[in-house]
């Protein structure tokens, strides 16, 4: 009788001490067999690049375009200063390439700073009109006419679609197709 009590007590000790460890080891081994493979990080899209740039250099995005592994982002600060930034497409890390030291704006960016629709909103409007990925956005007021946002959207096929977005209403005012299949 004592022998059975000792065996039962020993078995209890083994189960109490080793049971959780054995269960954890078994669970770890099972998890390792069923865990998904590591997924490569997704590219930082235009909207995320703009947000990262503005977090580093607050202001208004004047232009943004993708060039291989970086986004080039030009930002005009509320004080009129200009900064040229790059945003890594994998990590989202922002690097300042060039920033003005003086605040002399000479009035050249008043329309951009006063626009009701910013670059991020222009990108959203263009994507609503034509799904794809934003490849570039640029404030355009050089034509002597009304200013607008020029947004370039690339389809998954590589075809490029260009939109002009009104900076007051956000309406896509003009669009054209372009058969540019450059996948930069």
Residue of 142, 143, 139, 132 lying closest to 166 (CA atoms): 139
Q: Which of 31-35, 62-66, 92-96, 172-176 has the lowest mean pLDDT?
A: 31-35
pTM of the model: 0.69
**In the prediction, which pLDDT does 22 show?**
43
Q: Provide CB contacts within 8 A for 46, sequence distance 6+.
A: 64, 66, 71, 123, 133, 134, 135, 136, 137
The two three-digit tokens of residue 119, written as one number: 């670059």
**In the prediction, which pLDDT does 102 show?**
60
Q: Which CATH class is domain 46-178?
A: alpha beta
pLDDT digits (tens, 9 = 90+) for 28-83: 444 444 444 444 456 899 999 999 999 999 999 999 999 989 999 999 987 788 99
């Amino acid at each position: 009788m004592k022998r059975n009590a000792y065996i039962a007590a020993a078995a209890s000790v083994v189960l109490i001490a080793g049971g959780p460890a054995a269960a954890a080891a078994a669970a770890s081994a099972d998890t390792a067999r069923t865990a998904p493979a590591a997924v490569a990080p997704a590219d930082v899209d235009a909207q995320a690049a703009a947000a990262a740039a503005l977090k580093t250099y607050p202001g208004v995005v004047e232009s943004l375009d993708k060039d291989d592994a970086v986004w080039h982002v030009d930002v005009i600060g509320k004080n009129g200063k200009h900064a040229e930034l790059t945003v890594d497409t994998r990590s989202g890390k922002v690097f300042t390439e060039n920033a003005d030291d003086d605040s002399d704006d000479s009035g050249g960016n008043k329309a951009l700073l006063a626009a009701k629709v910013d670059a991020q909103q222009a990108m959203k409007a263009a994507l609503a009109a034509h799904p794809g990925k934003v490849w570039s956005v640029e404030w355009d007021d050089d034509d002597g006419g009304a200013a607008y946002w020029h947004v370039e959207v690339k389809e998954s096929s590589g075809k490029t679609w260009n939109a002009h977005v009104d900076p007051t209403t956000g309406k896509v005012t003009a669009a054209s197709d372009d058969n540019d299949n450059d996948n930069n």
